[in-house]
Amino acid sequence: MSPSATLPHPSDTSAFQHEWPVLLACASPFPETLKLPAMLRAADAERLVALAEEHGVVGHVAASLGKLDGAVFPPELRPALRNRRHAQAVFSLLITAELFRVLDRFASERIGALVVKGPVLSVQAYGDPGMRRYGDLDLLVRQRDIRRARELMIAAGYESKVPLRAIAAGKIPGQYLFTQPEKKLIVELHNERTLRYFPRRLPIEEFFARQIRVRLDGHEVPALSLEDELVLVSIHGAKHFWDRLLWIADVAALVSRQTGIDWERVRNSAKAVGAERMLHTGLRLASDLLKAKLPEHVQAMVEADVAAARLAEETRQWLPAAGYAPMGLVQRAALRWRMRGGLLAAPGYLLRLSFSPTEEDWKEGSRQEFLAMVRRPFRLARKYGRGKKS
């Protein structure tokens, strides 16, 4: 929901100074219920709902406030939260049913697929597939299966946003996107070549070898291991500069609820893709902002990463603006550099992101890969040069 004309813009963080602490308290795995009534008395109900919507944590707010005494719960909040939570639950049922259909089609053709984020993460982190907000389905498939997967999705009534000629030419998009506009369904297929924000190429066969089964509405669905999922959501948060509270809440909830995480495997998984600092930043934010409890040796490892601590502190400055904080191209590039870290690795990572064309660059009209590479930095400058919304 975009803010209405009567509400301050999210970039005016001072206007939400009373609502932001409520969001932090509700998004924590350990909400300070005793402090919430006083926080709510200082907050404006309409601003609180608008900010929660921008940060994707309406479900968190509704769940936390629902535990309060009825006399404490502000009556003006009830219909707004109830309506949004209901819409979220209905959409969750719709998209989960579609997930089962897509997985069945892929299985019939022996196409391996792992569910990432979305309803599976919601179950793993919160125990409820409808708790967290998501607008699409994300599946991990092998690049070699993309062409056949596209055929199956088209046969199922989806429209492909990546043309067949691009696949035949070996062009790699940001993701293979499929839509059913009339049902408002979006399915994104990712693989070892599209996940560009992984500092090193995803070891996809290892991810498939470590897969687990997650029970979702009576079905067992294939998913990433807890350890690989934690690394992936940390990289996803870093990709977006952690500008939504939801992504930090996911990390906090996952590490707090899943007490059987193998932290040595987490470390190895992050190291394999060069994402140690991204992982540490996510864990630091989850610990500092949302009171997530980490094992002592993990907490010590995270605190020892000084660069991650600085990134987390900077993130706290722009986080309340929900992606509306002015962040120009130079600042974005500098942050990418620091998130990757390393004298040689960081510039290589930044250059790859800056010059590797995606489908947005193909739309510039160039049929030659070299020209698309050259034009990409100029497109990024137009897109982000004036600190537009992330």
> Is residue 239, in this structure, part of any structural domain at all?
no
Q: Assess whether pLDDT exceeds 50 at residue 1.
A: no
- The answer to whether the CB of 189 falls within 8 A of the CB of 152 is no
State the total domains in the chain. 4
Question: 206 and 144, same structural domain?
Answer: yes
Question: 182 and 113, same structural domain?
Answer: yes
Domain that holds residue 352: 326-390
Q: pLDDT higher for 70 or 243?
A: 243
Question: 334 and 292, same structural domain?
Answer: no
Which of 48-52, 364-368, 380-384 is modeled with the greatest confidence? 48-52
What is the rounded average pLDDT for all residues in the chain?
90
Q: Assess whether pLDDT exceeds 90 at residue 48.
A: yes
Q: For residue 210, which phi and psi values (nearest 5 degrees)?
A: -95, 5
Among 92-96, 173-177, 386-390, the minimum mean pLDDT is found in: 386-390
> Is residue 34, in this structure, part of any structural domain at all?
yes
What tokens does 83 get? 């309506």
Question: 354 and 295, same structural domain?
Answer: no
Q: Assess whether pLDDT exceeds 60 at residue 366.
A: no
Q: Assess whether pLDDT exceeds 50 at residue 142.
A: yes
The Cα 63–Cα 52 span in angstroms is 12
Q: pLDDT > 90: what percent of the chain?
A: 66
Final residue before a domain boundary, out of 325, 344, 368: 325
> Is residue 229, in this structure, part of any structural domain at all?
no
> Is residue 87, in this structure, part of any structural domain at all?
no
Q: For residue 291, which phi and psi values (nearest 5 degrees)?
A: 60, 25
pLDDT band per the 50, 70, 90 thresholds, residue 185: very high
Q: Assess whether pLDDT exceeds 60 at residue 5.
A: no
pLDDT band per the 50, 70, 90 thresholds, residue 2: very low
The Cα 113–Cα 107 span in angstroms is 8
Q: Assess whether pLDDT exceeds 70 at residue 16.
A: yes
Handedness of CA 129, 132, 136, 139 (dihedral sign): negative
> Is residue 4, in this structure, part of any structural domain at all?
no
pLDDT of the residue at 4: 44
Q: Assess whether pLDDT exceeds 60 at residue 373.
A: yes
Question: 216 and 121, same structural domain?
Answer: yes
Question: 258 and 213, same structural domain?
Answer: no
Question: 49 and 108, same structural domain?
Answer: no
Among 72-86, 87-101, 199-213, the minimum mean pLDDT is found in: 72-86
Model confidence pTM above 0.95: no
Mean pLDDT of 266-292: 97
Nearest to 121 by CA among 110, 105, 107, 137: 137
Final residue before a domain boundary, out of 268, 298, 325: 325
Q: Assess whether pLDDT exceeds 90 at residue 75.
A: no
pLDDT band per the 50, 70, 90 thresholds, residue 357: confident
DSSP-assigned letter for residue 236: H
pLDDT tens digits, residue range 98-122? 999 999 999 999 999 999 999 999 9
Final residue before a domain boundary, out of 307, 325, 343: 325
Q: Could you tell me which residues come within 8 angstroms of residue 174 by beta carbon, excluding any fewer than 6 positions away?
A: 194, 196, 358, 359, 360
H runs (alpha helix) in the chain? 20-27, 36-42, 45-55, 58-65, 77-108, 118-126, 146-155, 164-168, 204-209, 226-239, 245-257, 263-272, 276-290, 296-304, 306-318, 329-340, 345-355, 359-362, 369-384
pLDDT of the residue at 367: 54
Count Cα neighbours of 367 within 13 Å in the Cβ-side half-sphere.
2
> Is residue 3, in this structure, part of any structural domain at all?
no
Q: Could you tell me which residues come within 8 angstroms of residue 93 by beta carbon, excluding any fewer than 6 positions away?
A: 130, 217
pLDDT of the residue at 381: 67
Question: 306 and 281, same structural domain?
Answer: yes
Question: 195 and 302, same structural domain?
Answer: no
Q: Assess whether pLDDT exceeds 50 at residue 46.
A: yes
pLDDT band per the 50, 70, 90 thresholds, residue 88: confident
> Is residue 234, in this structure, part of any structural domain at all?
no
Q: Three-class SS of residue 319?
A: helix
Question: 50 and 98, same structural domain?
Answer: no
Task: Specify the CATH number for the domain of residue 188.
Answer: 3.30.460.40
pLDDT of the residue at 374: 67
pLDDT tens digits, residue range 286-318? 999 999 999 999 999 999 999 999 999 999 999
What tokens does 149 get? 């997967």
pLDDT band per the 50, 70, 90 thresholds, residue 229: very high
Q: Assess whether pLDDT exceeds 70 at residue 3.
A: no
Among 26-35, 134-143, 381-390, the minimum mean pLDDT is found in: 381-390
> Is residue 148, in this structure, part of any structural domain at all?
yes
Q: Assess whether pLDDT exceeds 60 at residue 389.
A: no
Nearest to 283 by CA among 275, 24, 212, 203: 275
pLDDT of the residue at 205: 98
- The answer to whether the CB of 114 falls within 8 A of the CB of 223 is yes
- The answer to whether the CB of 322 falls within 8 A of the CB of 54 is yes
pLDDT of the residue at 280: 98
pLDDT of the residue at 278: 98
Question: 199 and 127, same structural domain?
Answer: yes
Q: pLDDT higher for 116 or 384?
A: 116
Among 79-88, 95-104, 185-194, the minimum mean pLDDT is found in: 79-88
What are the residues facing 214 on neighbouring strands? 221
Mean pLDDT of 222-227: 98
Q: Three-class SS of residue 343?
A: coil
Question: 258 and 219, same structural domain?
Answer: no
Distances (CA, A) of 360 to 33, 45, 170: 46, 39, 16
Q: pLDDT higher for 193 or 74?
A: 193
User: 185-190 and 176-180 as β-strands: parallel, antiparallel, unpaired?
Assistant: antiparallel
DSSP-assigned letter for residue 222: E
